[in-house]
Structure 1
Amino acid sequence: MNYVRTAILLAGLTALFMVVGFALGGRGGMMIAFLVAAGMNLFSYWNSDKMVLRMYGAREVDMATAPEFVGMVAELAQRANLPMPKVYLMDNPQPNAFATGRNPQNAAVAATTGLLQALNRDEIAGVMAHELAHVKNHDTLTMTITATIAGAISMLANFGMFFGGGNRENNNPFGFVSMILMAILAPMAAMVVQMAISRSREYEADKGGAEICGQPLALASALAKIAGEAHRVPNYEAEGHPATAHMFIINPLSGARMDNLFSTHPATENRIAALQELAQRMGGSGLGRGPQIATGGAMPRGPWAGGARKRGPWG
């Protein structure tokens, strides 16, 4: 079913890309847009994960540079029966995380340094388990390709507006008015594309992540903290690339822009309520069932959560 959903989504994105091309250059522009979109679909399948990681300045870490964090991901991946993904960190004060990659064998998980600062170890484990659940559910391919092509659609529309597409030479019947409409409607279409990635995948990843780490209330606590900080601490890279917002565990956009008219995520309160119900079904609080990661002892904030925002134990 995930592969069918991906095919339908790519077809829809290609059609939208062609519509923008037609508005910019008539039939010739539509054909060029089709060829470009076909090339982008192929390129995105193999490289969109690298593009998104580069977009956020993510750097790969390993057991030598971030033993606590990488060891945690390794333990969680083992519990989820997944291959060990590549692990990345983003130097960003906003607590957040995402997963990417075309399949579990080529997956990567990325977290911000703000996440390691703001959350305790159990909460971090819940967040990373959520991202591994996305990998296990094969959500990452759809999420990453959507981010790449939806962003390209917005850029193409803005490009046409800036350079005055739709002139008489290209026989575009829409004229200059179409350029204004396209510059407004194409970014909105990109937001709708984000919403086309079913919100149910977040509930499924929450459930799967809670089962992997064994601590649904720790994940619920993490969601509450991240949601609060996301509105307070800006993520400038995400604000510059709003088409990637749906990839994060919590919407990273501040809400100050029109990009946030449509939510890419379910309400955090609803997600927390679902995790609380899951904790009751798992027996009591749902705490204390997760893996004892790295040092194994209870740590209120973890060894990565010092006061100063230095590279610290994550490299």
Structure 2
Amino acid sequence: MTSTLKTTILLAALTALFMTVGFLLGGKTGLIVAFVAALGMNLFSYWNSGDMVLSMYGAREVDAYSAPEYYGIVARLAERAGLPMPRVFIIENDQPNAFATGRDPEHAAVAATTGLLRMLSPEEVAGVMAHELAHVKNRDTLIMTVTATIAGAVSMLANFGLFFGGSSNDGRSNPLGMVGAVLAAVLAPVAASLVQMAISRTREYEADRIGAEICGRPLWLADALTNIHNAANQIPNYQAAAHPATAHLFIANPLAATGLSGLFSTHPDMGERVRRLRAMAVPPTGYAQPRGGFMPQRQNRPGPWG
């Protein structure tokens, strides 16, 4: 089964889950309402989900004048990848992390936190942004942002139904009543998280591989992932905690510092991701990782764009 087909099936499952919650809360009427709502959300998400996610995190757009090094890295990588120049954003957040969004390469945006730009070397930043541009190139961004919208709506609808007890005044409520509402409230968010996990994990390994090819140095991304992972376990991301349905958009799980969230991680094992990237760096690139795990400064070696 191809990655695209698998993702399509999983996205359909998430939509079906939303409709099931509607049925548990309102019977046939709830099912119909949920179906119409799901269609509306998918249409809305297609046009607006990218800007909506950026707004959630208070991202500010930058250009070649306000953030010359960061913007320049993205510009050179986009040129190497054969992509239109995406909009570039910075998020005020101490946790090093990044994500990409947008419905297609012509309407894409990439965002990095201030923590990432401060803690990582320019080479590691290049590895991270190459990964995000790989998501753009693979057209993952639309799927991932639509998934975030629907998953968030599933949890919201389930909680709403629990509050009102799954009943209505017209006598056509779900025959399970409060039992259906409780089942929806407890099981629906878990099921939505599992589907999100499956969708995200099918995309991350491929984005790592293509991102390494775009920047030309797999070890830049490998080192970046190691540093991001270590920091994410120590620096909480309160913005992501307030919007957990968007966690799968990030290059590394932004909720790693919140304990039990690790049980439902939307990302594949970081150790395995790093191992695969390091394996890519042997013969093909001819680049050897210096001992001690530190990358030399850019002036001591040429960048991947010459």
Report the TM-score when normalising by structure 2: 0.89
Q: Which residue in the other structure is 2:223 paired with?
A: 221
Q: Which residue of 2 is the match for residue 181 of structure 1? A: 183
Secondary structure, counterpart of 2:186 in structure 1:
helix
Which residue of 2 is the match for residue 271 of structure 1?
Answer: 273
Q: Residue 229 of structure 1: CA displacement?
A: 0.8
**Equivalences for residues 63-82 of structure 1 within 5 A:** 63-82=64-83
Shift of the alpha carbon at 1:153?
Answer: 0.6
- What are the equivalent positions in structure 2 for 1:45-64 lying under 5 Å apart? 45-64=46-65
In structure 2, the partner of 1:36 is 37
1:210 aligned residue? 212
Residue 146 of structure 1 deviates from its aligned partner by: 0.4
Q: 1:242 aligns with which of 222, 233, 244?
A: 244
Aligned residue-pair number: 293
Contact 1:127–1:222 under 8 Å retained in 2? yes
Distance 1:97 1:183 in 2: 31
Q: CA offset at residue 103 of structure 1? A: 1.1
1:286, CA displacement in angstroms? 5.5
Secondary structure (helix, strand or coil) at the match of 1:60 reads strand
Partner of 1:98: 99
Partner residue of 1:165? 166
Moved more, 5-14 or 136-145: 5-14
One-letter amino acid of the structure 1 residue matched with residue 128 of structure 2:
V
- Give the letter aligned to residue 256 of structure 1: T
* Distance across 1 between alignment mates of 2:8 and 2:284: 36
Residue of structure 1 in register with 2:232 after alignment: 230
- Report the alpha carbon displacement of residue 280 of structure 1 after superposing the two structures with TM: 0.4
- Which string of whole-angstrom CA distances, capped at 9 and with x for unpartnered residues, describes residues 240-268 of structure 1? 22111111111110353544322211111
In the other structure, the counterpart of 2:255 is 253
The residue type equivalent to 1:112 in the other structure is T
Distance 1:215 1:296 in 2: 13
- The range that moved more, 79-88 or 10-19, is 10-19
Letter in 2 for 1:144: T
Aligned residue for 2:116?
115
Seq. identity, %: 61
> What secondary structure sits across from 1:17 in the alignment?
helix
2:38 alignment partner AA? A
1:23 matches 2:21: no
Shift of 1:211: 1.3
1:282 to 278, 281, 284: 284
Distance 1:90 1:157, change over 3 A: same
Aligned mates of 2:85, 2:168 — CA distance in 1:
52
Aligned equivalents of 1:13, 1:178: Cα separation in 2: 19
What is the CA–CA distance in structure 2 between the aligned matches of 1:189 and 1:67, rounded to whole Å? 43
Three-state SS of the structure 1 residue aligned to 2:258 is: coil
Q: Is the 1:59–1:88 Cα contact (8 Å) retained in structure 2? A: yes
Q: Aligned with 2:233: secondary structure? A: helix
- Structure 1 residues 59, 193: closer, same or farther in 2, change over 3 A? same
Partners of 1:296 and 1:122 lie apart in 2 by: 7
Residue-by-residue CA offset, 1:198-218 (whole Å, 9 max, x unaligned): 524211111111111111111
- Provide Cα deviations, 1:2-52, integer angstroms capped at 9, x if missing partner: 765564344322211111111111111111111111111111111111111
Amino acid corresponding to residue 129 of structure 1 in structure 2? A
Runs of 4+ in 1 over 6 A off after TM superposition: none
CA distance in 1, matches of 2:39, 2:66: 39
Tell which deviates more after alignment, 132-141 or 5-14: 5-14
Please say if 1:88 is aligned against 2:89. yes
Structure 1 residues without counterparts, runs of 5 or longer? 289-294, 300-315
1:106 to 1:287, Cα distance in 2 relative to 1, 3 A? farther
Q: Is the 8 A contact 2:165 2:177 kept in 1?
A: no
